[in-house]
Structure 1
Amino acid sequence: MKNFLKFFLVGIFFGIVLVKSEAVSWYRIYEMFKFQSFHMYGIIGTAVFTGIILLLIAKKKHLKTTQGTYLRVPLKDKGLIRYIAGGSIFGLGWALCGACPGPMYILVGTGVFSILIVIAAALVGTFVYGLLKRKLLH
């Protein structure tokens, strides 16, 4: 229960940050995909930069995961086509619904209940991927 509370509070904080930074705003996402505003690129770039710095610090200080093992980032297989295809599908979904997975749940919390249709579609898509995973190239 203690771990749940910690992660729940971090999630609440994450939601507040995304709402206050307007990262959950459909209009901000629309501006980003039309290259009319730097706002979302700044948020994404800040997140990537912060992640890189925190990962480097965690590796340098030999911090452990919640399971007690040392932090290790596995090497990825090279596969340009699969990353382009996956990124394109993700970006298309993001552009069509105006939200990536994290903000979808935050939008429910802000009262945008129409996003429940998108969440249901995302869950169905995840289920279908699970069924087809063995048949897809990885």
Structure 2
Amino acid sequence: MTSIPDVHTPAKAPVSPARQATGLLAYLFAGLYFGMVLVKSEAASWYRIQEMFRFESFHMFGLIGSAVVTGLISTALLRRFGHTRSGEEVAVKPKDRGWVRYVLGGLTFGLGWGLAGVCPGPIFVLIGAGVWPMLITLLFALLGTYLYGLLQQRLPH
């Protein structure tokens, strides 16, 4: 078993409360905008998700494809210019080799998505839109996250 080398990290410069508040506001507004986009694009619609799983509509595949392209571009930009607002370096670790963890993770994610009719992102959007049964989905998503934390050492990574 190989050990991870100890890497010295430079001391962080203190962030002023005003800069921290503006950063939090920026994230809040970005999240609100993203939530509105999810609702308006019908990405949070159970009916659209069912259409996708039945191969009846291209709508969700187009949304997912555009998300993949956005993720690829964002990751490339992070690797090239990777630093935070405070100047800390952001390093994108390459994915581990092997397929078992990705297949198991994808099956778990897909099973939850199919049963709940929603992936984790829109849960909060739907609760904000007044779809109160999503509180049950949120509860089980949090329970699943907690259980993963307990079992993490025993799972294939």
Same fold (TM over 0.5): yes
Cα distance in 1 for partners of 2:145, 2:85 equals: 26
Structure 1 residue 51, shift from structure 2 partner? 2.1
TM-score (norm 2): 0.81
Cα distance in 2 for partners of 1:59, 1:96 equals: 36
Asked if 1:105 is matched to 2:124, the reply is yes
Cα distance in 1 for partners of 2:31, 2:74 equals: 18
**CA offset digits 1:72-102 (Å, max 9, x no partner):** 2111211201101110110010011011111
8 Å contact from structure 2 (residues 82, 91) kept in 1: no
1:11-22 matches, within 5 Å, as 11-22=31-42
SS at match of 2:70: helix
- Kindly report structure 1 stretches of 4+ aligned residues shifted beyond 6 Å: none
SS at match of 1:68: coil
Cα distance in 1 for partners of 2:79, 2:101 equals: 28
Asked if 1:124 is matched to 2:143, the reply is yes
Structure 1 residue 58, shift from structure 2 partner? 4.3
Larger Rg: 2
| Contiguous gaps of at least 5 residues in structure 1 | none
TM-score (norm 1): 0.92
Structure 1 residue 135, shift from structure 2 partner? 1.5
| Contiguous gaps of at least 5 residues in structure 2 | 1-20
Structure 1 residue 68, shift from structure 2 partner? 2.1
- Residue matched to 1:10: 30
Structure 1 residue 70, shift from structure 2 partner? 3.1
CA RMSD, 1 decimal: 1.4
